[in-house]
Amino acid sequence: KPLWLTPHMRPKCQDQGKSPSQTAQGEMGVSTSPSAEMLGDLADWGFRAGAKEGECRTSGLWLCKEPVKTGIWECTPGGFDVKDRDNTESVMILSGRVRITNLEDGSCKELGPGDGLVLPQGCSVRWDVLEVTRKFFTISPMTNMAPTSSFFMATSAEQLGELADWGFRAGAKE
């Protein structure tokens, strides 16, 4: 089951915004950030490699770059392929609509606000951005896992359905 992050929490070092790689071991903490920061203006990241000329202008906000890349990404309409991923990406669509096509078997699914997607290392997909789309993402290197061509998508209704009872976390009070 997915672990849900609220838009009010983001990993950040306690020492005045330094990235985790700039701080000494043990100094990393969690700070809060207003959702307006993640839903507001984003930095221009240019056009997406592999898209047709003039398509897929991207912008974003890095929330954390080490050890797992986390951020907000926005893209204008267009399409591009991501073949043989060298990492694993987890996505939650915040706004807009995309169609994700598995390049191995041709299956596809449209995703919109609240829908999630996990693209494991080794999979190959095509992103068709149908309208300006903003997503929350995490990218993990996952170098110890065997590559796979399959991936997982779930609509917000599927994600918000019945959850399994995992019991209490060790050390947590009832």
Per-residue pLDDT of the chain in tens (174 residues, 90 and over written 9): 223 333 333 334 333 343 333 334 444 455 456 677 777 889 999 999 999 998 999 999 998 888 889 999 999 999 999 999 999 999 999 999 999 999 999 999 999 999 999 999 999 999 999 999 999 999 998 665 554 545 555 565 665 566 566 665 666 665
DSSP state of 40: S
pLDDT of residue 29: 56
Distance (Å, rounded) from C-alpha 4 to C-alpha 159? 10
Do 103 and 116 touch, CB atoms closer than 8 A? Answer: no
Do 83 and 110 touch, CB atoms closer than 8 A? Answer: no
3-state class of 120 per DSSP? coil
pLDDT of residue 7: 38
3-state class of 169 per DSSP? coil
Q: Which residues, listed in sequence order, are joined to residue 39 by a DSSP beta bridge? A: none
pLDDT of residue 142: 65
Other residues' Cβ atoms within 10 Å of the Cβ of residue 143: 9
- Residues contacting residue 3 through CB under 8 Å, at least 6 positions apart: none
pLDDT of residue 14: 33
pLDDT of residue 40: 83
pLDDT of residue 9: 37
Do 121 and 90 touch, CB atoms closer than 8 A? Answer: no
pLDDT of residue 98: 97
pLDDT of residue 36: 72
- Residues contacting residue 23 through CB under 8 Å, at least 6 positions apart: 13, 14, 15
| Dihedrals phi, psi of 151, to nearest 5 degrees | -150, 170
